[in-house]
Structure 1
Amino acid sequence: MSSPSSKPSWQLPTGVTRGSLDYIESPAIADGYDEDLTFGSEFQFDEQVVADFIPATGLVADLGCGTARALIPLVRRGNRGLAVDLSDEMLRIVAEKAQRENLDIKCQQANLVELEAIADQSIDHAICMFSTLGMIKGAVYRKQFLDHVHRILKPGGKFVVHVHNFWFNLFEPDGLLWIASHLVKSKLTSELERGDKYYRYRGIPNFFLHVFSRSEFAKSLKTSDFQVTRLVPLCMDRQAELSHPWLLGSVRASGWIALCEKPPR
């Protein structure tokens, strides 16, 4: 089997870059995932936001689940879980966790932009956390994913999704220079959308992440016919809601958690 780095571009999964596929297919990344991300403490706020919005009954699909650190607390309290990821290695970890705790979680390998195997209106609620939406390259493919989420949710189903903020780069070293050069490049290069970032992440070169402005994020959800109940702005370390969001909140927020619903019939 060809390694991701040796595959021609036309063999890469739809919406997935070469660097992201290296990340997805790495056993070492999966095995060290929870430890590297300080499982538990760093994500308590995210967990609470999700738990407060998602009802404690019904089937919850964790789309781009990783090691299911967002899904497991929901299943522990009474939900059933469907863990969906392109990575066999991540799903291996999920299956081990579910077996260890006897949790009602089924695993399904799938590309997030190709969820045809999940039936219409078969999911009660869905989550897509930790900027997984931003790992999809191309606005057309991000919309394709969001359209799938809308399709598989039952009417009235809740959807929680997180993204990072484009303008928060201003607070990074040389952030103003990066934003200025990026805005010019994205105007001149058709392959680069505003918000597309490539960087080294956990030892993987050219990891891809799309970061959103607040208006872009809200528009993408509404375009896929979601009702947005609230966009929760996050503080720098993501462990709390941003204080005084009226004061340049669209710039100061590190990102947003969107609380959405598929409209009832």
Structure 2
Amino acid sequence: MTSRSSKPAWQLPPGVTRGSLDYIESPAIADGYDEDLAFGSDFQFDEETIANFVPSTGLVADLGCGTARALIPLVRRGNRGLAVDLSSEMLRIVAEKARDEKLDIECIQANLVELDAIQDASVDHAICMFSTLGMIKGAENRKKFLDHVHRMLKPGGKFVVHVHNFWFNFFEPSGAYWLASHMIKAKLTKGMERGDKYYRYRGIPNFFLHVFSRGEFKRALKQSGFQIERLVPLRMDRQGELSSAWMLGGWRASGWIALCAK
């Protein structure tokens, strides 16, 4: 679908793999993003969860916004929007949507690991959905991002973030074997962490995603200073909260939406 980036590894942005850069720079990915992800249907539970937690006034930063499908409903109801993404192609789509609906959305092209241009305590609330946190390679880089989010939020600001569950892979075909072999490989392979996955995604080879255990996710948020007000476990189809989460919810949840505050 797209040509592979010609940049040498040392020139890749911090936390961004070559496969992810191909994804980020693809006009075709941006143009087909909403259609491919069933815009407006699969997102209903996420939208309701965000709307119920984030106040309807103030500036909301959508970090790794894609085409801003999480941000636009908030701006429609009264928030101002700050759309942040490394992809100029995704931001092109966001700008078109904002222009067509006359929405108050500012776009900033930036790597999530390098958000120094956004001032301290300048954002009222922030969201980071669709496992965008997991697209950042390296625990140190993910911490840099979360530290930036905490820094840019005003005191009391809300932060909503979603990740996928590492242990949920058990329910995939040959899942037990994959988990066992992956954990051995992660211990023996330099630069690889448990939860690092590479796979073909929307025509892009070697797309990177880090998937989290519940404990790892909670620790990462707390280490950056966030207070977790609620951790919402998700059903397999991601369109609702997992029922009976007390029963092996750390395995059965497809992922979590963390509702946090500074």
Provide TM-score, normalisation by structure 1.
0.97
1:7 deviates by: 1.3
Show the 5 A alignment for 1:234-245.
Answer: 234-245=234-245
User: Helix, strand or coil: the match of 2:142?
Assistant: helix
61-70 or 168-177: bigger deviation = 168-177
CA distance in 1: counterparts of 2:46 and 2:16, whole angstroms: 25
Q: Percent identity at matched positions?
A: 80
**In structure 2, what residue type is equivalent to 1:175?**
G
User: Helix, strand or coil: the match of 2:155?
Assistant: coil
Show the 5 A alignment for 1:112-151.
Answer: 112-151=112-151
1:4 deviates by: 4.8
CA distance in 1: counterparts of 2:136 and 2:87, whole angstroms: 14
Q: Which deviations, in whole Å up to 9, do the C-alpha atoms of 1:107-150 show, x marking residues without a partner?
A: 00000000000000000000000000000000000000000000
**1:19 corresponds to 2:19:** yes
Aligned to 2:174: 174
Q: Which deviations, in whole Å up to 9, do the C-alpha atoms of 1:59-98 show, x marking residues without a partner?
A: 0000000000000000000000000000000000000000
CA distance in 2: counterparts of 1:258 and 1:186, whole angstroms: 26
23-32 or 5-14: bigger deviation = 5-14
Q: Which deviations, in whole Å up to 9, do the C-alpha atoms of 1:192-242 show, x marking residues without a partner?
A: 100000000000000000000000000000000000001100000000000
Show the 5 A alignment for 1:1-265.
Answer: 4-262=4-262
**In structure 2, what residue type is equivalent to 1:42?**
D
1:190 deviates by: 2.1
User: Helix, strand or coil: the match of 1:115?
Assistant: coil
CA distance in 2: counterparts of 1:52 and 1:120, whole angstroms: 25
CA distance in 2: counterparts of 1:23 and 1:225, whole angstroms: 31
1:175 deviates by: 1.2
CA distance in 2: counterparts of 1:186 and 1:10, whole angstroms: 22
CA distance in 2: counterparts of 1:139 and 1:79, whole angstroms: 32
1:54 deviates by: 0.2
Deviating beyond 4 angstroms after TM superposition, the runs of 4 or more aligned structure 1 residues are none
1:178 deviates by: 0.9
CA distance in 1: counterparts of 2:241 and 2:89, whole angstroms: 32
**In structure 2, what residue type is equivalent to 1:234?**
L
Q: Which deviations, in whole Å up to 9, do the C-alpha atoms of 1:13-57 show, x marking residues without a partner?
A: 110000000000000000000000000110100000000000000
Unaligned runs of 5+ residues in structure 1 are: none
CA distance in 2: counterparts of 1:172 and 1:126, whole angstroms: 32
**In structure 2, what residue type is equivalent to 1:31?**
D
User: Helix, strand or coil: the match of 1:205?
Assistant: strand
153-162 or 167-176: bigger deviation = 167-176
**In structure 2, what residue type is equivalent to 1:241?**
E
User: Helix, strand or coil: the match of 1:124?
Assistant: strand
| RMSD of aligned alpha carbons | 0.7
1:5 deviates by: 2.7
CA distance in 1: counterparts of 2:166 and 2:218, whole angstroms: 14
CA distance in 2: counterparts of 1:43 and 1:82, whole angstroms: 20
CA distance in 2: counterparts of 1:190 and 1:229, whole angstroms: 35
